[in-house]
Amino acid sequence: MKVERIKRDYDEVRTRAAADYAAAAGAFPGGLSAFLRQIALLEREKRADLAAVLPPAELEELELAETHAGQTVRRALAGTGASAAQLRAVFGLEREFEDRFALVFDLSLPALIERQRVRDEHDERVCALLEPADALAWLAARDGDQGLMNVWVRERGLPDGVGIELWRIKAGFVRRRLELTAAGKPTPSARADLIRATEQRLALVAGAEAFARERLGAFRWLPRP
């Protein structure tokens, strides 16, 4: 079968590439970034070859089952109420994100800020596709801190939307901290101002007393000023 032959051929090429990288023992031309770029390019070529022999619906099912994006989605939403249509829609967004950054290995602060901005934007779009409870499962699968906040929300019988708002607060804090660092070494006052502003946002959503009690628990991600 053509599909199996294509998959087998690319598996063999990927195995050879990995063996070459391992054999180079740190002397691989371009290093780890070059190796990962090579693997990402192979995946793109494989998709193009599969698309030439499979109808779009069958290609999507295959990728949902076998690609990193598909496995991420299935793992995150396993056991939730997400429908098959929602699963495919989330998969489309996750694949879009991975395609955009598959060949990007820039670790500069501007690049990290852009990646974080797009990641948060995609997660917002995922949340809009899912029921709030399922959206929280998606967010928690990507961030252990979110899992703690989800537990905190459930234990208090709060609406799932509270958990999503807590995610937005943390996401905003992470982005702003990166921006401050990119602008130059943050002054202690700038760092303290950011933390205090985030504390105020959390207190509005979680309650001042609850926030203070959970400083080492659900809100452990926020350092002290």
Are 119 and 192 part of one and the same domain? yes
Structural domain contains residue 61 = no
Is 208 domain-assigned? Answer: yes
* Cα separation, 187 vs 193, whole angstroms: 10
Same domain as 135, residue 206: yes
- In sequence order, the 6+-apart residues with CB closer than 8 A to the CB of 23 are none
Does 205 fall in a domain? yes
Q: For the chain, what is the radius of gyration of the CA atoms?
A: 21
Domain contains 89:
no
Please tell me the distance from the alpha carbon of residue 84 to that of residue 115, in angstroms, as a whole number. 28
Q: Report the pLDDT value the prediction gives residue 178, as an integer from 0 to 100.
A: 93
Q: Which two tokens stand for residue 209?
A: 């007393």
Domain total in the chain: 2
**Spatial CB neighbours of 60, under 8 Å, sequence gap ≥ 6:** 88, 91
Which pLDDT tens digits describe the chain residue by residue (225 residues)? Answer: 788 888 887 788 888 888 887 887 777 777 778 888 888 888 888 888 888 888 889 989 999 999 999 999 999 999 999 999 999 999 999 999 999 988 777 888 999 999 999 999 999 999 999 999 999 999 999 999 999 999 999 999 999 999 999 999 999 999 999 999 988 877 889 999 999 999 999 999 998 888 788 888 999 999 987
Give residues with Cβ within 8 angstroms of 124, minimum separation 6. none
Tell me whether residue 74 is exposed, middle or buried, using C-beta atoms within 10 angstroms of its C-beta: 0 to 12, 13 to 18, 19 or more. Answer: middle
User: CB–CB of 111/181 below 8 Å?
Assistant: no
Residue finishing a domain among 18, 39, 54: 54
> Does one domain contain both 199 and 132?
yes
Residue 142 domain flag: yes
Name the residue range of residue 26's domain. Answer: 1-54
pTM of the model: 0.87
Regarding whether 108 and 7 lie in a shared domain, the answer is no
In a domain, 64, yes or no: no
The answer to whether residue 169 is domain-embedded is yes
Q: Is residue 63 part of a domain?
A: no
